[in-house]
Chains A and B, each alone.
Chain A
């Protein structure tokens, strides 16, 4: 499966949660598949989906899912020790690991070679790290939400992108409706 197929499958699960979605094609795909006020779309700032999601989870009680990518986590690796040492049990970091920089033309990342993000998360001190295959994402995500225990999920899948339109919503509108959904 490619990322957009996973997002299509888990959209009914994501719909009821606060979601911080990674820059580029992942946000475009989620926006096209199931736009929700509970989705915060990143329009720039590669690497910070996990950090924004952690800050949000620490600031309030609702479950937060950060959808991140292998390339983006690699560019902000210092997020893993911060997550490990500031446990928020309402926080799930879901890394869609397709071994490539999807938004820039599927150039390979090191996670498709020797590097394991699950291993790095464990070494950083994250207690609850699960590595799942694409087809198992839905049940694994539902389990992580139900457990109410901070979880780092690494979802291994195929490289590739769906053709989706660019998000034209104004960033302040994205933020405003998201903040209203947080307090709703």
Chain B
């Protein structure tokens, strides 16, 4: 099973039925796979804090949500994470494209990459880093952990995990 299919399979197996996305080249395959699954309602958002609002509403309406976004969005969503998701104690798996790591071709992406883990640590957000394809085996456990503890949980997925950027 390729990693796009494996990730989507684990989302469905954990009853996640409401997914919002702000795209990334690395995440294109998994977003496409989500669109192929009727069990998941996919609602693209224009900005990640908006997406977290949608997820908070869906959770209170009885659906398990998830957000798929880039790590630059940590800079956008600190307030929403603190005053909505954490303050009201809501679960939110965040599948994050970790731009600016090894094999990154765009220098500016490194500028947020160097802050990403520090910001997540400062927020006391449980954080997992997928660097090798086999790391995806932990996703199922991470999702179960997220809905056990009712917290936002970050899954950082770097370029090496996704197989690099090709010839760029």
A-side residues, CB < 8 A to B, are 20, 40, 42-45, 47-60, 76, 78-79, 81-82, 86, 171-172, 174-175, 178-179, 182-183
Given the complex, which residues of B lie within 8 Å of A48, measured CB to CB? 49-50, 52-53, 56, 80, 84
B-side residues, CB < 8 A to A, are 18, 41, 43-47, 49-63, 65, 79-80, 82-84, 87-90
Tell whether A51 pairs with B61 under 8 Å between CB atoms, given A43-B87, A45-B80.
no
Flag if A172 contacts B50 (CB, 8 Å). no
Given the complex, which residues of B lie within 8 Å of A79, measured CB to CB? 46, 50
Flag if A59 contacts B62 (CB, 8 Å). yes
Flag if B61 contacts A58 (CB, 8 Å). yes
**Distance (Å) between the CB of B112 and the closest chain A CB?**
20
State the majority secondary structure of interface residues on A.
Answer: helix
Tell whether A51 pairs with B43 under 8 Å between CB atoms, given A43-B83, A58-B61, A178-B60.
no
A-B contacts besides A57-B61, A82-B54, 20 pairs, CB < 8 Å: A44-B83, A45-B53, A45-B80, A51-B51, A51-B53, A52-B56, A54-B57, A55-B56, A56-B60, A58-B57, A58-B61, A59-B59, A76-B47, A78-B46, A78-B50, A82-B45, A82-B46, A179-B60, A182-B60, A183-B62
Q: B18's contact among A44, A55, A179, by CB below 8 Å, is which?
A: A55
Tell whether A44 pairs with B56 under 8 Å between CB atoms, given A59-B62, A82-B43.
no
Given the complex, which residues of B lie within 8 Å of A183, measured CB to CB? 62
A172 vs B85: C-alpha distance when bound (angstroms): 11
Query: A53, A175, A183: which has the most chain B beta carbons within 10 Å?
Result: A175
Given the complex, which residues of B lie within 8 Å of A59, measured CB to CB? 18, 57-63
Flag if B89 contacts A172 (CB, 8 Å). yes
Given the complex, which residues of A lie within 8 Å of B56, measured CB to CB? 48, 51-52, 55
